[in-house]
Amino acid sequence: MSNVADLDRPTDAAEREDARDIAYASQWRLVFIRLRRHRLAVASGIVLAALYLMAAFAPFLSPHDPTEKSLEYREAPPQRLRFVSDQGVHLRPFVYPFTATTNRVSFKRDYHDDRAQPYPLRFFVRGYRYKLLFVFESDIHLFGTGVAEVPVHLLGTDHLGRDMLARVMYGAQISLSVGLVGVAISFVLGILIGGLAGYFGGFVDEAVQRVVEVLLSIPQLPLWMGLSAALPLSWPVVRMYFAITVILSLVGWTRLAREVRGKFLSLRGEDYVVAAQVAGMRDLPIIFRHMVPSFLSHIVASLTLSIPLMIIGETSLSFLGLGMQAPAISWGVLLQSAQKVQTLELAPWLMIPALYVIVTVLAFNFLGDGLRDAADPYGQT
Amino acid sequence: MAQYITRRLLNMVITLALISVISFAIIQLPPGDYLTSYIAQLRAAGEEVNEELIESLRMQYGLGKTPVQQYFKWVWNFLQGNMGQSFIYDRPVNDLIWERLGLTFVIATASLVFTWLLALPIGIYSAVRQYSFGDYLFTFLSFIGLAVPNFMLALALMFAGFKWLGMDVGGLFSVEYESAPWSIAKFVDLLEHLWVPTVVLGTAGTAALVRIMRANLLDELRKLYVITARAKGVAEKRLIIKYPVRIALNPFISSVGWILPTLISGATITAIVLNLPTTGPMLVDALLQQDMFLAGSFIMMLSTLTVIGMLISDVMLVLADPRIRIGMANE
């Protein structure tokens, strides 16, 4: 706040430049400047960027096809990356291949390192063919042993011998994007409906309020479950995906609409809105050109906070078997196998997708918190 | 006050009517009607399908009529306490719902009390000692509590209980009490099992409530009346508990309303992992097997409970906060 006053004080040129910058910066720039000082939010932003890049480049980053089954390596534990072998220290990380035997008593597979020959990790090796970002076709992968008989399973495998690392990365594509698409839908609905209610008031407001109240008073998860149980299982993955996002945002828009409505109610009497009305501007342009920009940064912050709710929603639905279904890969689908306490005992690495969920949700919460502070016009600059 | 409650009750009726439409839509949504899936199920089980039975069921549910007529039929039956027949269990939905709802309510209440007992002191501490080590620690913990899915925590607690305490923490009763009639021993047994779901469900709510309590109390602490009281020499502890905390308590009261739906949602997944005899697992089963009368009635009942919870918390808020009360009187 004090920056404008500071202009008069003789300081060095750079600082003055900075202060002048803030005095004339646009609102978005101010938000950005403030956000940059929020270390936790910045770090969370970086983590999220990394996660989304991981999802986008999943085929390139993952050493194995996520659907490739292997009877030889089912429920194999995570392989260790090593630097020290019997022959000495290696500069390049390497893995030992597994030899598997079936335990005659428990019928469990036992895995032992075959220490005879270390297989160094090679970069940019050829593997299964894939299409990157819907366009680029390739068969080059970031890393692998380069030997087809020796797989690398850094996060272990599931009960069908599919590589967990690849599945987590592919799962991120659905799990991470559900939140974004869902929020986009909620955003449009929330601004439109909340805006209309707040702007017109009266009967429209009353009706919208009632609908919002009804949707909010039905317990969220049962409502989602009820709606998604109606989706035919025979639907292709893409259609299922959109249906689920629509269901998730069906509840999501209500909170946003409430917030927008409140903002509109307080802005409706402002001079500039009245001026626009007097000047003969029509309602929708007033809403979108003059009113929405004045609280958009605030809305963005609350949108960021509602993304993790949707991610948890998708995960929960899929976890229960009511969301995405088996051929599709999402974090919730992966966690279906982690429903039993035995999993923790026998194959704890199957719980790894949950760590990704936790990190993602935490990062979105921190980022959203930072954004909210930064977007607060009465906060400190 | 009476006027306020009457108005709220009227609103509640409208809300419930709309919810019933949604619940009925959920019953209707799956392709085909429930009778077709029922018949298919009977055939799959190799049972003879009795034409007369089908005809009587068709009559009872008003199939073949328009959805609107079916809706009113359903509502009418519902109001008379007849929620239809469950196809999975082959029993009236009423019998199934009440025992489950009761236990759900017990767990929800226990979690709510747990949440309050934990969130109140932590929230006050975090606000009064803002930016202290403890504040950072609790802030960090509450964020973790918000981010960790309930079922993960449930699994972890079950695993810990199993591994180090040698006890089976799943379920709400030990095997020998499961179908026993209620007795003091059974009640004690229930208490022994209740803590796991209580802790699991309470954590997420606690985290959220600590955040709200901290923020509200921080706002209050900066106000002039606090400074005045301090200047007049009121002892710090007494000052904080007596004035700002009382005002910051409002969210705790309103939490009765919103925590119920949250608990019920959270309870659904946790209950499946913990194998609790509550509404959650039964609802999922009903939905997966398209036992739509059971599912629809569940959603309707859960929503009704929620709406009542919201009403109670609003009324309590009016009673507790003179500002709201006087504001209403002035209107």
**A82-85, strands of its sheet edge to edge:** A82-85, A88-95, A119-120
Task: Tell me which chain B residue has its CA closest to the CA of residue A360.
Answer: B147
- Minimum distance, in Å, between the CA of residue B86 and any CA atom of chain A: 16
Which pLDDT does position A252 carry in this prediction?
A: 76
The rounded distance, in Å, linking the Cα atoms of A25 and A18 is: 10
Residue (of A185, A178, A222, A219) closest to A331 by Cα position: A178
Specify the residue for token string 């007529």: B69
End-to-end CA distance of chain B: give it in Å, rounded: 12
- Is the Cβ–Cβ distance between B308 and B256 less than 8 Å? no
Cβ–Cβ < 8 Å for B290, B37: yes
Sign of the alpha-carbon torsion through B169, B175, B176, B182: positive
With the C-alpha atoms ordered B252, B258, B259, B262, is the resulting torsion angle positive or negative? negative
The 3-state DSSP class for residue A284 equals: helix
Nearest chain A Cα distance for residue B234, angstroms:
31
How confident is the model over A162-198, as pLDDT tens digits? Answer: 877 888 888 888 888 888 888 888 888 888 888 788 7
- pLDDT over 60 at A4, yes or no: no
Contact pairs from chain A to chain B, CB under 8 Å: 127
Give the DSSP per-residue string, A95-110.
EPPEEEEE-TTT-PEE
Region at A78 (left for phi over 0; alpha for psi -120 to 50; beta for the rest)? beta
Average pLDDT over residues B255-264: 67
Unique residue bearing structure tokens 């194998």: B275
Angle between helices B184-221 and B93-128 in degrees, nearest 10: 40
Is A230 in CB contact (< 8 Å) with chain B?
yes
Rounded Cα gap, residues B159 and B164, in angstroms: 8
Residue (of A262, A240, A263) closest to A330 by Cα position: A240
Q: How confident is the model at residue B45 (pLDDT cuts 50, 70, 90)?
A: low
Of the candidates B147, B302, B307, the beta carbon closest to that of A358 is on B147
Q: Does A211 touch chain B (CB under 8 A)?
A: yes
Mean pLDDT over A293-321 rounds to 78
In one-letter notation, the amino acid at residue A356 is Y
Does A250 touch chain B if contact means CB atoms closer than 8 Å?
no
Q: Tens digits of per-residue pLDDT, A323-345?
A: 777 777 888 887 877 776 677 77
ipTM exceeding cut-off 0.85 for this assembly: no
With an 8 Å Cβ cutoff, are B144 and A362 in contact?
Answer: yes
Residue of B nearest to A219 (CA): B261
Q: Do B268 and A339 touch (CB under 8 A)?
A: no
A residues 258-297 near B, CB within 8 Å? none
Given an 8 Å threshold on Cβ–Cβ distance, is B19 in contact with A217? yes
Burial grade of B269 (CB within 10 A; 0-12, 13-18, 19 or more): buried
For residue A40, which amino acid is it?
Answer: L
Residue B41 clears pLDDT 70, i.e. is over it = no
DSSP character string of B231-272 = HTT--HHHHHHHTHHHHHTHHHHHHHHHHHHHHHHHHHHHHH
pLDDT digits (tens, 9 = 90+) for A76-127: 777 777 777 777 777 777 777 777 777 777 667 777 777 767 777 777 777 7
Mutation to test the B interface, candidates A38, A47, A215, A217, most B Cβ within 10 Å: A217
Rounded to an integer, the average pLDDT of B255-278 is: 71
Q: Contact B15/A214, CB-based, under 8 Å?
A: yes
Look at B299 and A366 and tell me if their CB atoms are within 8 Å. no
Q: What is the pLDDT of residues B152-186, one digit of tens each?
A: 777 777 777 777 766 665 566 666 666 666 677 77
Which parts of chain B are beta strand (E)?
85-86, 91-92
CB A141 within 8 Å of CB A154: no
DSSP 8-class letter at A349: G
- As given in the structure block, the two tokens for residue A348 are 């704890």
CA dihedral B81, B86, B89, B95 (to 10 degrees): -10
What is the predicted pLDDT for the residue at B166?
Answer: 61
To test the contact with chain B by mutation, choose from A221, A334, A355 the residue with the greatest count of B C-beta atoms within 10 A, namely A221
Query: Does the pLDDT of residue A8 top 60, yes or no?
Result: no
A217 chain-B contacts, CB cut-off 8 A: 15, 19, 261, 303, 306-307, 310
What is the percentage of chain A residues whose pLDDT exceeds 70?
85
